[in-house]
Structure formats: structure tokens, C-alpha cells
Amino acid sequence: RRLISFSTSQHARTEHEIGLVNDLLMQSVASNHPVMHRAANYLFSPAARGKQFRPRLVLTIGRLAGASAVDRQTLAAITEIIHSASLIHDDVIDEADTRRSMACLHKVEDCTRLAVLAGDFLLARASRMLASLRTPRVVSMLSETLEHLTLGECIQMGVIDNMPTYLEKTFYKTASLLANASRAAVVLAESKACKTASGASMDENCASPSFKLPFALSKDEHSGSVLAESFESENEEAAYMYGKHVGISFQLIDDVLDYTQSSAIVGKPSEGADLRQGLATAPVLFAAQEHKNRDLWDAIRRRFGAIGDVELALNSVKNSKGVEQSRDLAAWHAEEALKAARRITAVSSGDSSVEDERTALEYAAMQLLKR
Ligand code: FPP
Ligand code: MG
Ligand code: MG
């Protein structure tokens, strides 16, 4: 399914570039060590790849904002490597057997320690690629996302019994990578103009002092250390907001699917799988708000650990507007993403098709809702 292309020409451009990103990615994670070699080949094989939504998004924003082909493809590969590393670790934490209908790496290797190391190895290679972009602010943004991924997992291990905490966790775990990678694509585009003859970036010195957003989002949206750092251009802020809202919308739909879709369709165990792992997500939190059911709140707070808790939660969600309200919230975030996409100023490269990239961003935000 096409998530991030709306026209044939835009699709062809993205397919061509994603092929180059995959080549770059394979070169970047190549290793003489047999286990790391095997892990990289397994994880990035065409069968295991998945939709590659994140790198496609980076390429599209990068083209719209005027990032060079090398910069945007490198950033796209980094984004995909970080995502893959986080999934390897996630599968270990979740004790998962399958992902994308294939055995998880720790199952293939029959060793969780090797899988953890393979994730670390990928992060190390992603760090080296980040350094190669010679743009310190981009290193900082993607590093912050690594922190957020870890914090998101930590929050999820505790009790999530209210929407603000759920949204904060969701931002950290899912939206931060999309937000910061989108933002980084713009930063790379804008710092291009500041490159010295030797090729070294001076983005810190070239930052425009004219645009500073003193940022304070309410706790209902999310909090996070990113707010301490101001955006340095309107495009940077708009790209960040696009990625953030798309990420939250994406996760809300994912969480709805856990209640509505069978495992055969999603390629990993589903149908209340989150509940069985102790996780309260948007549908059950909305249901608990609606029913004001003390037993359900208790079940949420003990992470559905007592006999009958999962069934109580499933029934409560079925007999509530939880799924509908979660979808509505996802639609609200998709609309916000749409508005942000419209605020990104295209850099004219003499190529009129650059506006196609914006339409593709708008299309992607809406397609995610249709899963
Ligand atoms: C998938 O969640 C997990 C993530 C998106 C993030 C996982 C992050 C970590 C394990 C922290 C370590 C981070 C790095 C960068 C190594 P899920 O379990 O809800 O989704 P799933 O159903 O796809 O497994
Ligand atoms: Mg998981
Ligand atoms: Mg998990």
C-alpha cells in the first residue's frame, strides 16, 4: 500500500530514492563479524523491511525543503537504522516471537544477548553516519530521540492511567523520531547554504536569530526536553509539528487496531495483546473515563494483572465509545499534521514537481487514518 505517495511521478521518485537509501543502509551496516553481518542481512532483507514509512517521510520533506540528495538519503538511512535498532530491543523487552510475520532476531539467533548487541551495533553505525552529516544540531536532535525512545519505554513499564501520560509516552516512543527526523531534514536543507568551501557546516553560526518560538505545550499534548530548544526557522518548526502529529496519529490507530484486528492481518500477535502485556492505551482509557468504572480503573492500575482484568477491559471497550474517540483523536492529529505540511515553504529548485512532495505529505497524514 502506498502510504506516502499520491501521484505516479512522486511515487517513482520516492521508489528510486528509497532504493538508493537501502543500498546506502546495507553498506553502512556491513560488518566482517559473522553475527552482525547475519543480523543486518536478516533485518534489512526485502522480506523484513516493512513499509519504510520513516525514511520515505524524510526523503519527501527533504526534497520539499531543499536538502541535497546525499544529505536526505543519509538522514533517511539513519532514521531507518535507529527505528530497526529500537525494534530489536523492543522485541527482547516484549519477549515477542514474530515481527512482520517473521521470527524476531532474538528468536532467529536463539539468544537475547546477541540481539541486544546487534541493536547496539546498529546504533553505533547510525551515530557514525550522523557525524558524517557534519551538522551538530542534527546530531543533537537524533540523539534526543534516542533518549526519548528509552524514556517512552520506561514510562510504558509503569502505570499509565490517564491520557496526558499516555500521550507523553506516545510522543516519546513513536512521534519523537518522526518529529526530529523531519526537523533534521529541514535543518540539513537550511545549513546547506552555510557550508564552507571545505564542506564543513557552520550551521550554529548561520542560524537565523529572527525566529524563536518560546515553546510551551500543555501537558495534554506532551512534554519533553525538546521544548527547551527553540526552533530556528518556521520551516523547522512546521516539519517538526508535521512529524509529531503524524506520529501520534499513527500510534493512536495502531492502538485501536489492537482491539479491532486479528493477528493474521497485522503480522504480530494482536487482539488485546497490549492488555495482556499490561498496557493501557487510548481505547481503554477513554472507556474508563466514560464508564467511571472503579473496577476498570483498578485493573488499569494493576496492569491487568488479576484474573478477569483483560476480559473486563475488552468488554468495557466494546461497550463504550473508546475506539471511536481514539479514532477521532487520531483524526485531529492528522488534521494538525495537514496544517503543518501546508506551512512548510518549498525551496524552489527550478523543479515545479516539488509541490508534489507537499501533497504527498498531506496524503500520508490522511492515509494513516485508513489503516
Ligand atoms: C515498539 O513498541 C517500540 C518502539 C517504537 C520503541 C522501542 C524503544 C526501546 C526498546 C528503547 C531503546 C531504544 C533504542 C534506540 C535502542 P511496541 O512494542 O508497542 O510495538 P510493536 O507492537 O511493534 O512491538
Ligand atoms: Mg513490541
Ligand atoms: Mg514494546
List, for residues 67-100, the tens digit of each pLDDT value. Answer: 999 999 999 999 999 999 999 999 999 999 999 8
247 pocket-lining for ligand 1 (C-beta < 6 Å): no
Q: Which residues pair with 102 in a beta bridge?
A: 99
Q: What is the pLDDT of residue 50?
A: 87
Contact 262, 256 (CB under 8 A): no
Contact 256, 365 (CB under 8 A): no
State the ipTM, two decimals: 0.98
C-alpha cell at 224: 519533553
Q: What is the pLDDT of residue 205?
A: 41
Q: How far apart are CA 360 and CA 305, in angstroms?
A: 43
Which residue lies with its CA nearest to atom 9 of ligand 1? 86
Q: What is the pLDDT of residue 4?
A: 78
Residues with Cβ–ion distance below 5 A, ligand 2: 90, 94
Q: How far apart are CA 237 and CA 65, in angstroms?
A: 12
Type of residue found at 143: S
Q: What percent of the chain is predicted at pLDDT more than 70?
A: 86
C-alpha cell at 99: 515481527
Q: What is the pLDDT of residue 68?
A: 96
Cα→Cα distances 322→175, 259, 261, 285, 357, Å:
22, 10, 15, 7, 34
Of 79, 84, 90, the residue with max ligand 1 atoms within 8 A of its CB, to mutate for a pocket test, comes to 90
Q: What is the pLDDT of residue 195?
A: 58
List, for residues 267-276, the tens digit of each pLDDT value. Answer: 555 678 999 9
Q: What is the pLDDT of residue 98?
A: 94
Question: DSSP letters of 60-105?
Answer: HHHHHHT--HHHHHHHHHHHHHHHHHHHHHHHHHTT-SEETTEE-H
65 pocket-lining for ligand 1 (C-beta < 6 Å): no
Residues (pLDDT < 50) of the chain are 196-219, 223-228
Which residue lies with its CA nearest to atom 13 of ligand 1? 86
Cα→Cα distances 101→37, 39, 251, 268, Å:
22, 17, 20, 6
Q: Which residues pair with 98 in a beta bridge?
A: 103
C-alpha cell at 272: 488485546
83 pocket-lining for ligand 1 (C-beta < 6 Å): no
| Confidence (pTM) | 0.90
Contact 264, 302 (CB under 8 A): no
Please list the alpha-helical segments (H only) found in the chain. Answer: 8-28, 34-43, 53-65, 69-93, 105-108, 112-132, 136-157, 163-170, 176-192, 203-206, 234-260, 263-266, 273-276, 282-291, 294-301, 309-318, 322-343, 354-367
> Ligand 1 mean position to 234 CA, how many Å?
30
Q: Which residues pair with 99 in a beta bridge?
A: 102
